[in-house]
Amino acid sequence: MSIKAFVVDDSAVVRKFLSDTLIAGGIEVVGTASDPLFAWPKMEANWPDVLVLDVEMPRMDGITFLKKVMSERPTPVVMCSTLTEKGCETTLQALAAGAVSFVTKPKMGLKDFLEDRGNGLVDAVRAASRANLRALSGRAVAGRPGAPGLRVAPAPVRPMASAPLRPSSASGAMAETTDRVVAIGISTGGVQSIEVVLRQLDRTAPGIVMVQHMPERFTASFAARLNTVCDMEVLEARDGDRVINGRVLIAPGGKHMTLKRSGAQYVVEVRDGPLINHHRPSVDVLFRSVAACAGRNAIGLIMTGMGDDGARGLRDMHQTGAYTAAQDEASCVVFGMPAEAIKLGAHDDIVPLSEVAGWIRQTAARPLRRS
């Protein structure tokens, strides 16, 4: 069955190119409109599977329309916004309000972007069509730090690989320290999901290094927004930043982030590099560096997201002695990355979103695995 999409954008040129791109990708475009007031009656006549929605439009902005859609007839929404400071902030508000994902339109070179069949729109719409909207709508935080009742689904016992990954040198993983570091990989559906987790953690929690798939500029706004609502300090990572208790370092969009040792401390390295698994930053890049640098001192978690980025890196962490978990299918917006990790046997536990923070706290208190 084909996916039905509806495009709302105030530019006729943009509507045409987005529609052509979707049609070329095998997606049926059932209608377009220049603003939400024109869109609603058209959508009622033939309701789409996915709505592609501009952020800034006359008469009614994208956020207001998104909230109307989600309250009256919940439908997967892909936001289409510009790479501007205002566009980034508004898009994050949309994701927090229930949008599944977003595609960024450059302020300059828009024509080239629109004509590029690989601009990510088709993949975003396909992923959105499979989104679990019940997970998106059920983001109430269950519990607070120290809340009892954690129920973690144990993974089936699997034999370890015959040749587990080892750190690249004897000085790689810090076997003599008890400092823990938490590595998280997350993508589609992550804006709401990670807020649920971080709101339940306080400044006694181990330092967290995280990749959320986002382009440049978005991660700075994302980190700043989380920093205002969480007890933990949340920062867009800079090269050389220390990983310390109570701090979350988010890989900047357009850069890879790796974990390194600096004496008895952990620091991050932020650098350029090729796309890995179609992403920069890549979860696999982060997880593999954590496996090599922190070994069994690490805790790894892979959460909602499309594709398989991070699955092999989480397996590397698991094989070096880290405790690892995958978010469960019922609470994922898109059960892609966790599903691939589970297929590889990269996890110790499968955890619902509401209990991820408790799992992190309990795991950080567990003794290190024997080497």
What residues does 233 pair with on adjacent strands? Answer: 247
What letter represents residue 83's amino acid? Answer: L
CATH of domain 153-364: 3.40.50.180
Collapsing DSSP states into helix, strand and coil, what is residue 150? coil
Whether residue 181 is predicted with pLDDT greater than 80 in this model: the reply is: yes
pLDDT the model gives residue 169:
38
Q: Is 347 one of the annotated active-site residues of the chain?
A: no
pLDDT the model gives residue 45:
95
pLDDT the model gives residue 178:
58
Q: Where are the beta strands (DSSP E) in 190-344?
A: 207-212, 233-236, 247-250, 256-262, 265-271, 298-302, 323-327
Q: Which residue in 9, 49, 213, 284 is the catalytic one?
A: 213
Whether residue 188 is predicted with pLDDT greater than 80 in this model: the reply is: yes
Q: Is 221 one of the annotated active-site residues of the chain?
A: no
pLDDT the model gives residue 168:
39
pLDDT the model gives residue 177:
54
Please state, in angstroms and rounded to a whole number, the distance separating the CA atoms of residues 327 and 250.
Answer: 19
Please state, in angstroms and rounded to a whole number, the distance separating the CA atoms of residues 121 and 134.
Answer: 23
Nearest Cα residue to 174 out of 261, 258, 244, 247: 261
**Backbone dihedral region of 159: left (phi > 0), alpha (psi from -120 to 50 degrees) or beta?**
beta
pLDDT in tens, 239-281: 999 999 999 999 999 999 999 998 889 999 999 999 999 999 9
pLDDT the model gives residue 3:
97
Q: Do domains 4-131 and 153-364 have the same CATH topology?
A: yes
Q: Which residue in 101, 187, 193, 354 is the catalytic one?
A: 187
Please state, in angstroms and rounded to a whole number, the distance separating the CA atoms of residues 303 and 329.
Answer: 10
CATH architecture of the domain 4-131 equals 3-Layer(aba) Sandwich (3.40)
Whether residue 145 is predicted with pLDDT greater than 80 in this model: the reply is: no
Please state the domain extents for the chain.
4-131, 153-364
Rounded to a whole number, what is the largest CA-CA distance in the chain? 66
Q: Any idea which of 15-19, 101-105, 195-199, 287-291 has the lowest mean pLDDT? A: 101-105
Secondary structure letter of residue 79 according to DSSP:
E
Please state, in angstroms and rounded to a whole number, the distance separating the CA atoms of residues 50 and 126.
Answer: 9
Q: How far is CA 275 from CA 256, 270, 339, in A?
A: 9, 14, 22
% the chain with pLDDT above 90: 67
Collapsing DSSP states into helix, strand and coil, what is residue 236? strand
Collapsing DSSP states into helix, strand and coil, what is residue 203? coil
27-30, long-range: CB < 8 A, 24+ apart: 27/2, 27/3, 27/122, 27/125, 27/126, 28/2, 28/3, 28/4, 29/4, 29/5, 30/4, 30/5, 30/6
Q: Which residue in 241, 309, 316, 349 is the catalytic one?
A: 309
Q: What is the mean pLDDT of the chain?
A: 86
β-pairing, 4-8 vs 28-33, is: parallel
